[in-house]
Amino acid sequence: MRAYNATYAELYDDYAPITDDLPFFLEEAQARGGPVLDLACGTGRVAIPLAEAGHTVCGLELSEDMLAVARRNLTQLNPETQARITLRQGDMRAFQWEHLFPLIIIPARSFLHIETPEDQRRVLTCIHSHLAPQGRLILTLFDPDLQLLWERSHMRPVHMEKVKEFTHTATGVRYIVWMTRQYDLNNQTIQFDQYFDALDDQNRVIHRTYYPLRLRYTFRQELQYLFELCGFEVEAVYANFERKPMHYCAGSVVWIAKKQE
């Protein structure tokens, strides 16, 4: 996990302005109560709307640079909302908080940054010890597309795709993002090599920045067993944030788990 450095963190909110999961997390926080533990909280994308809705939120994040942006985003909030958010630097594979949580969330597929089965177990074990007896863990992933995995793992030379254009709000600079993906079928990882081109007003590239990122894709039954191994029972698996039934290749798989009785 090397991408989330200072320059990437500065661009993150404009590059990944995800909002489709927010009503879902607000509903769950309303049902479960707080405090909510937001693991890999990034720039506060989910923590902030939860706090604005009146929930107490603890955010844990590995990257100091993402946290710096989160802290700056907090300064835009009123003092009461700010006071409901606690941010800490830490690793979801080994964290300690003083209390238990009725709701622990890992939004935006961040669990996929955990690259080995051993580390995945460490994350889930650590979460288990911080989850209140009646609490819920919610994490989101994607369901791997086998055809895509097979085709792309055999693609040579590596194919560069344009994936996004966006404008950085703070500076007004326009960016084009290019990406190559390399699939490692043995280790179930995808290496994303991202190139962010900053453009001037005549579309000339002013500079290019390289942000490598690696994810470990996880199959549905694999995660089901992993949950069971770590003392969880799966309560629901949805194909999206509207709680539609799970189906193969779903883009946003939402897992809800609780402690085994």
Could you list the residues that contact ligand SAM (CB under 6 A)? 1, 4, 40-42, 45-46, 60-63, 66, 91-93, 107-108, 110, 113
Output 92 or 141, the one with its CB closest to ligand SAM.
92
Angle of helix 117-130 relative to helix 220-229, nearest 10 degrees, comes to 50
Output 168 or 199, the one with its CB closest to ligand SAM.
168
Dihedral angle at the C-alpha atoms of 115, 225, 235, 99, nearest 10 degrees? -60
CB atoms within 10 A of CB 2: 11
Dihedral angle at the C-alpha atoms of 140, 238, 24, 91, nearest 10 degrees? -20
Output 28 or 61, the one with its CB closest to ligand SAM.
61
What does the alpha-carbon distance between residue 178 and residue 165 come to, in Å, rounded to a whole number? 9
Tell the smallest beta-carbon distance from residue 142 to ligand SAM (Å): 12
Tell the smallest beta-carbon distance from residue 90 to ligand SAM (Å): 7
Output 199 or 226, the one with its CB closest to ligand SAM.
226
Among all chains, which residue has been given the structure tokens 């994303």? 192
Tell the smallest beta-carbon distance from residue 65 to ligand SAM (Å): 8
Tell the smallest beta-carbon distance from residue 208 to ligand SAM (Å): 21
